[in-house]
Chains A and B, each alone.
Chain A
Amino acid sequence: MDLRYTESDQAFRGELRAFLADAVPAHGGAPFRHDWDARRAYDTGWQRTLFDAGYAGINWPKEYGGRGASLMEELVYYEEMAYANAPYVPINFVATRHGGPTLIAEGSEAQKTAHLMPILRGDEVWCQGFSEPNAGSDLAALRTSAVRDGDDYVVNGQKIWTSFGHCSDFCELLVRTDPDSKHRGISWLIMPMDLEGIEIRPLPTLMGESDFSEMFLENVRIPIENLVGKENDGWRVTNVTLRFERGTAWASDIIILQQLLGDLCKLAKRITRDDAAAWDDRSLRREIGHLSAEVDAVWAMVKLQVSELAKTGVPGLGGSVIKLAYTELNQRIYELALRLIGRAGLSRDDVAGLPSESIVDKYLNTLSLTIAAGSSQIQRNIISERMLGMPKEPR
């Protein structure tokens, strides 16, 4: 039962920290949220910086240009990225954490050669074409169809929640190639975003902006070489990707929450209520103390999960347990933060020296955490069924 890092892990940490100490300030602050060209340049530029320094694809095999880091090094990597306030990589997220890993596991040599290095260099941006208006939690009910016609699949349908659809080069697209079989009628295609018949419609969220799009596909011709894995095997391919996730998905986010609590402490000392610092309110302090315990515990859960995986190859906890715990905790912390800043919470931009933007915008953003990537309700079903043996829901 040992939490200490090895000397070699700490050496890795030291090198990375030194690199980030220069590279992060040099990269500068994030551009305005609605300037898509600037945001793509910012995110892909950071990806290139990581690539040049040998830190891109942290857990990708070296043969594909990745770092091939051990699981512990990967944990250290996410920790240090958070400590350094390194740019998060939303635009590169799908390519580096989803599409790329899928190709590594299931792609043909030609597909790997065409895409993996460009992804790592930040030359390629991917979006995800999975969910549909009628296929969210029940993703396997998707209806976007792909019909063979000569050397192409002809694709018709509609996708939703396509992040950064409007500035992506490729799309990981799930289509139905067999209408008569639900889970065994799905295929995984690489769709170039410059094909004819693709229409991207921005989908404003309650955040007002449009990271998300709806995507309408009308007779889009995708070459059959772009099929990843076998036809009708796409559901399995998709689940393989999820297993690539080694329990470190939320590592940076958890460290960021620890830092946030420190910031809220500082903020609470600045803000006054009833002629006293907000921090003087014992119940507020107690609540923050309680939340800090929960953050520490979720971090310890990640370490336990990573330890299990490192030694046995089998994740100790479902990713579901950590996702559920982390996302609901994150929301509760932002609820407190919003209460703390009082009237300043009516502004989504910083006002009167108060960090309304980072609190209010983040608060709004956290509303999606318990919905996306498997809603909290689905996670509870998964936990009770797969970990506790409860009878399954009707499907």
Chain B
Amino acid sequence: MDFRVTDDQAALREGISDFCEGRLPFETLLELAEKPLDRGLWSEVAELGIFSLRIPASDGGLGLGMAEAALVFAELGRRLVPGPLIWSALFAAILPDVESGGRVVTGLDLVRPTSDPLLVEHLVGSDTLIVLEASGVRKIDTSELQATAVETPLDPLTPIHLVEALPTGDMIGDAEMVVRLRREGALLASAMQLGICQATLEHATQYALKREQFNRPIGSFQAIKHFLADMLVRMEQAKAAVYAAAATADGRGVDDLDRTIAVAKLLAGESAHKNARQCIQIYGGMGYVWEMIPHFYLKRELVLETVFGTMDEHADRLAELLAERVAS
């Protein structure tokens, strides 16, 4: 058993991180806020190979696994990279031109019946809308959609459109494919949430060391220290959970895959949310300000919470799996 990140994996992660450091500093994110998807940026991101990760080498991809995907998506979450990254990653091996960045895929997860409105992320800038239902996978051309832009989306980097009715589109996958896609989607989302969890801890730590009040860094005060310690513990728990799910998805685990994924999405989501919340708190007045980074993390986390299973859904699933284990 060697559960660590390998040197190659760390290098892959660093590559993404370096790109984002140069191309997506916070000033750039501020400029991108409340604007439609920047297709130029999207092409650059695609060129990094993030949509080729899990395509087999024989098909010209990188032939890597979920472990690498999880690390990459954690970086993408950490850097608040905008766009329907998860949906596109899920369809990179299924639809043409996704890998190159030529086709942008967004989606709706409608597997669980709900009265929630049909709100699509990044409709402008996307070419394809995927709809997941219990019965199968539908592909819809975004040009066929009648939709109204939501003027004030929660996440400044995730524009939203309201769709009244969905056209039929084409059935491109069955119920089994839906289960697989939801599972993978949950794992990639949990990885992005882990990135948010990590980033908010990093930012809050730096702020606590720099910001002075009463003639000393606010990180001197135990209340702040203890918030930060809790943020670290939460992050380490989320990290271990996401890594365990990724390793299991690659066939290198010891537990049931569904179980590990539910654990990952539940805990990464909860940890990201709490850490983003605490980050705002530690920033004090500055945490409430548009032009500071903390609220971007909280808002992105709230978007990720609503896809591929909420915390409640995954907790329910874990209870179900526990009861099954106990009965057998």
A binds B: yes
The distance from the CB of A71 to the nearest CB of chain B, in whole angstroms, is 10
Q: Identify which of residues 90-104 in chain A touch chain B, using a CB-to-CB cut-off of 8 Å.
A: none
The distance from the CB of B8 to the nearest CB of chain A, in whole angstroms, is 11
Contacts of B312 in A (CB 8 A): 286
Pick from B1, B222, B255: contact of A296, CB under 8 Å? B255
Known contacts A290-B315, A296-B263, A324-B229; is A5 also within 8 Å of B1 by CB? Answer: yes
Q: Taking the complex as formed, is A11 at the interface, i.e. its CB lies under 8 A from any CB of chain B?
A: no
Q: Taking the complex as formed, is A224 at the interface, i.e. its CB lies under 8 A from any CB of chain B?
A: no
The distance from the CB of A384 to the nearest CB of chain B, in whole angstroms, is 4
Known contacts A1-B243, A325-B237; is A393 also within 8 Å of B318 by CB? Answer: no
Q: Across the interface, do B323 and A294 meet the contact criterion of CB distance under 8 Å?
A: no
Q: Across the interface, do A1 and B326 meet the contact criterion of CB distance under 8 Å?
A: no
Against B, the Cβ 8 Å flags (1 = close, 0 = not) of A165-203 are: 000000000000000000000000000000000000000
Contacts of B2 in A (CB 8 A): 1-2, 307, 310-311
Q: Across the interface, do A321 and B233 meet the contact criterion of CB distance under 8 Å?
A: yes
Q: Identify which of residues 305-354 in chain A touch chain B, using a CB-to-CB cut-off of 8 Å.
A: 306-308, 310-311, 316-317, 321, 324-325
Q: Identify which of residues 250-302 in chain B touch chain A, using a CB-to-CB cut-off of 8 Å.
A: 250, 252-255, 259-260, 262-263, 266-267
Q: Looking at A262, A289, A298, A316, which has the most chain B CB atoms within 10 Å of its CB? A: A289
CA distance A321 to B326 in the complex (A): 30
Q: Across the interface, do B319 and A288 meet the contact criterion of CB distance under 8 Å?
A: yes
Pick from B209, B230, B320: contact of A389, CB under 8 Å? B209
CA distance A338 to B325 in the complex (A): 23
Q: Identify which of residues 228-275 in chain A touch chain B, using a CB-to-CB cut-off of 8 Å.
A: 261-262, 265-266, 269
Q: Across the interface, do B247 and A2 meet the contact criterion of CB distance under 8 Å?
A: yes
CA distance A179 to B3 in the complex (A): 47
Q: How large is the interface on A (under 10, 10 to 19, 20 to 34, 35 or more residues)?
A: 35 or more
Contacts of B160 in A (CB 8 A): none
Q: Taking the complex as formed, is A4 at the interface, i.e. its CB lies under 8 A from any CB of chain B?
A: yes
Q: Taking the complex as formed, is A387 at the interface, i.e. its CB lies under 8 A from any CB of chain B?
A: yes
Q: Across the interface, do A293 and B318 meet the contact criterion of CB distance under 8 Å?
A: yes
Q: Across the interface, do A300 and B319 meet the contact criterion of CB distance under 8 Å?
A: no
Q: Across the interface, do A300 and B244 meet the contact criterion of CB distance under 8 Å?
A: yes
Q: Across the interface, do B318 and A289 meet the contact criterion of CB distance under 8 Å?
A: yes
Contacts of B232 in A (CB 8 A): 321, 383-384, 387-388
Contacts of B83 in A (CB 8 A): none
Q: Taking the complex as formed, is B220 at the interface, i.e. its CB lies under 8 A from any CB of chain A?
A: yes
Given contacts A301-B237, A304-B243, 14 further A-B contacts (CB under 8 A): A3-B247, A3-B253, A4-B1, A9-B1, A262-B325, A292-B319, A293-B314, A301-B236, A303-B240, A304-B240, A307-B1, A307-B3, A388-B229, A393-B222
3 nearest CB pairs, A to B: A289-B319, A300-B240, A289-B318
**9 A–B contacts, CB within 8 A, in A order:** A6-B1, A279-B323, A282-B316, A293-B318, A296-B260, A300-B241, A304-B240, A381-B226, A384-B219
